[in-house]
C-alpha cells in the first residue's frame, strides 16, 4: 500500500493558529459532495487509499524530543518543540470506516502519546475504533452540516442519531468537543444544529466553497442550492459574497449567543469574529500560535501594525523559519522565511495575511471613501 509523509505545515500559517497538520489517510471514503477531494464510493476508495508513513513521524519526534535536535529554521520542528497543538483530519477523516480495518490513527496515537502531543481531531465519524485517546491531551471537532441526514450531499456518513450518540459518549468521558459547521450550506444548514449540540464547548462556522476549475462539482452544488453564480466571489476558491454570508450566519449566531456558546468564523475575511485567538477555539486546544490573524486581531485590534505582527513573530522564534517550500513557484516571489512572507503580504489588500483583507475593514474603508467624496462635492457646491 502506498504511503505518504502525513505531517506538514499549512501554507495558511499566517491565518491559522494550528498550522501543524496531520492526516492518517489520503482521500476519504465519506464521499461528501462538497468536499475538495474527488468523490469516491466506499468500495472504489480502497483502490487508491494511501496511509500515513508513521515511521517518519516516529523518527521526527525522537529527533526533537529524545535527541534534543531541533533545526532552528525548520518551521515544523520549531512548532512541534514548542508544543503547538496538532490538527488531525483537515484533508481526510481520521475516523472514517477504513480506520476499523487499517488502524493508522490508532498507530499514530501509540506514537504521539509517548511524547504528550496534543491533537485536535476533526471528524464526521461515530467511533474512535479503539484508539487510545486521552481527554487530557486530545479534543474533538465534529463536522456537522445538517440534522436531516441529507444523503444526497453526504452519502456515506453515519446518521445524525449515531453521531449524536458519539458526541454524548465523548462528553460523558470528559472530552472537550466542539462543532464545526463546515461548510455552511444555505437551505440545508440551520440553527437546529445549535439546539442539538447546545452543551458543546465551541462552534466554528465556515462557508461553502466551490472549486472554479471543477465544473461537475460546481454545477452540482449550484443546482442543489438554486443560487446563481453571481452570489459568489473568487478568493482562490469561490466563496459566497461576505454580505450574503453575514445574513446566512445570523440566525445560528443568535442561537449560539442565546446558549452562551463561544464561537468563531473560519472564513479568512471574517476571522475577527471570534471568541479567542484561534478559529478552532481556545477551549479546544492546548496551545496555538500568536501570529495568526485571529490572534493578532484579538490582541491588537482590527488594524494591527506590521511592527506588532513582527513582535509576535520574534517572540515565537518562528520568524526565520523557512516556508518558501509551502508555496508554488509563482507565489514565492523570491521570499524564503515566515517573516518575509508575512511582511510582504501585510499591506496587500488581496492577501488574507493582511488586516486589509478583513471584510469589516473593507466596509470601513469604503464608507470613509464615500464620506470624503461627499465632503468634496459639498465643498465644490459652495
Q: According to the model, what pLDDT value does residue 359 have?
A: 95
> Which residue in this structure is represented by grid cell 466551490?
210
Ordered by where they begin, the domains of the chain are: 3-289 (3.20.20.70), 297-381 (no CATH)
Q: According to the model, what pLDDT value does residue 40 have?
A: 35
Q: How far apart (Å, rounded) are the C-alpha atoms in residues 23 and 55? A: 14
In tens, the pLDDT along 87-119 reads 999 889 999 999 999 999 999 999 999 999 999
Q: How far is CA 368 from CA 13, 233, 272, 378, in A?
A: 31, 23, 20, 15
* pLDDT band at 222; cut points 50, 70, 90: confident
Letter string b/e over residues 282-308, b meaning 16 or more CB atoms within 10 A of that residue's CB:
bbbbbebbbbbbbbbbbebeeebeeee
Mean pLDDT of 280-303: 96
Rama region for 209: left / alpha / beta (φ>0; ψ in -120 to 50; rest):
beta
Q: According to the model, what pLDDT value does residue 47 have?
A: 55
Q: Which three cell numbers stand for residue 54?
A: 508513521
DSSP bridge pairs for 228: none
Q: According to the model, what pLDDT value does residue 36 have?
A: 59
Q: What is the DSSP letter of 39?
A: P
The Cβ of residue 12 has, within 10 Å, a number of other Cβ atoms equal to 17
Beta-sheet strand order (sheet of 232-235) = 209-210, 237-240, 232-235
Q: According to the model, what pLDDT value does residue 82 have?
A: 98
* pLDDT band at 44; cut points 50, 70, 90: very low
Mean pLDDT of 185-202: 96
Which helix (H) or strand (E) is 202 found in, with range? strand 202-207
Q: How far apart (Å, rounded) are the C-alpha atoms in residues 192 and 149? A: 13
Q: What angle do CA 190, 359, 258 make, to 5 degrees?
A: 35
Mean pLDDT of 192-214: 94
Amino acid at each position: 500500500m502506498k504511503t505518504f509523509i502525513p505531517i506538514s505545515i499549512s501554507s495558511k500559517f499566517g491565518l491559522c493558529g494550528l498550522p501543524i497538520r496531520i492526516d492518517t489517510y489520503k482521500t476519504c471514503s465519506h464521499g461528501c459532495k462538497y468536499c475538495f477531494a474527488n468523490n469516491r464510493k466506499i468500495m472504489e476508495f480502497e483502490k487508491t487509499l494511501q496511509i500515513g508513513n508513521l515511521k517518519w513521524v516516529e523518527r521526527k519526534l525522537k529527533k526533537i524530543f529524545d535527541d534534543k535536535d531541533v533545526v532552528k529554521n525548520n518551521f515544523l520542528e520549531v512548532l512541534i518543540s514548542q508544543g503547538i497543538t496538532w490538527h488531525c483530519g483537515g484533508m481526510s477523516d481520521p475516523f472514517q470506516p477504513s480506520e476499523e480495518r487499517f488502524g493508522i490513527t490508532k498507530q499514530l496515537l501509540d506514537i504521539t502519546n509517548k511524547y504528550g502531543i496534543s491533537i485536535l481531531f476533526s471528524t464526521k465519524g461515530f467511533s474512535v475504533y479503539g484508539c487510545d485517546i486521552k481527554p487530557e491531551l486530545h479534543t474533538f471537532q465534529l463536522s456537522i452540516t445538517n440534522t436531516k441526514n441529507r444523503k444526497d450531499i453526504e452519502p456515506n456518513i453515519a446518521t445524525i442519531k449515531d453521531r449524536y450518540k458519539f458526541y454524548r459518549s465523548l462528553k460523558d468521558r470528559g472530552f472537550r468537543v466542539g462543532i464545526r459547521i463546515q461548510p455552511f450550506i444555505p437551505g440545508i444548514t440551520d440553527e437546529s444544529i445549535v439546539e442539538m449540540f447546545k452543551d458543546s464547548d465551541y462552534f466554528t462556522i465556515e462557508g461553502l466553497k466551490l472549486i472554479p476549475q471543477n465544473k461537475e462539482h460546481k454545477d452540482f452544488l449550484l443546482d442543489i442550492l438554486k443560487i446563481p453564480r453571481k452570489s459568489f466571489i473568487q478568493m482562490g476558491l469561490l466563496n459566497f459574497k461576505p454580505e450574503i454570508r453575514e445574513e446566512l450566519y445570523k440566525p445560528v449566531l443568535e442561537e449560539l449567543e442565546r446558549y452562551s456558546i463561544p464561537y468563531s468564523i473560519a472564513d479568512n475575511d471574517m476571522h475577527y469574529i471570534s471568541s479567542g485567538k484561534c478559529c478552532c477555539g481556545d477551549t479546544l486546544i492546548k496551545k496555538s500560535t500568536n501570529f495568526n490573524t485571529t490572534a493578532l486581531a484579538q490582541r491588537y485590534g482590527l488594524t494591527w501594525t506590521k511592527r506588532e505582527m513582527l513582535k509576535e513573530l520574534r517572540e515565537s522564534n518562528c520568524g526565520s523559519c523557512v516556508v518558501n517550500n509551502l508555496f508554488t513557484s509563482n507565489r514565492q516571489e523570491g521570499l524564503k522565511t515566515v517573516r518575509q512572507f508575512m511582511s510582504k503580504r501585510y499591506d496587500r489588500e488581496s492577501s488574507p495575511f493582511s488586516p486589509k483583507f478583513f471584510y469589516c475593514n473593507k466596509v470601513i474603508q469604503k464608507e470613509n471613501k464615500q464620506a470624503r467624496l461627499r465632503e468634496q462635492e459639498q465643498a465644490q457646491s459652495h
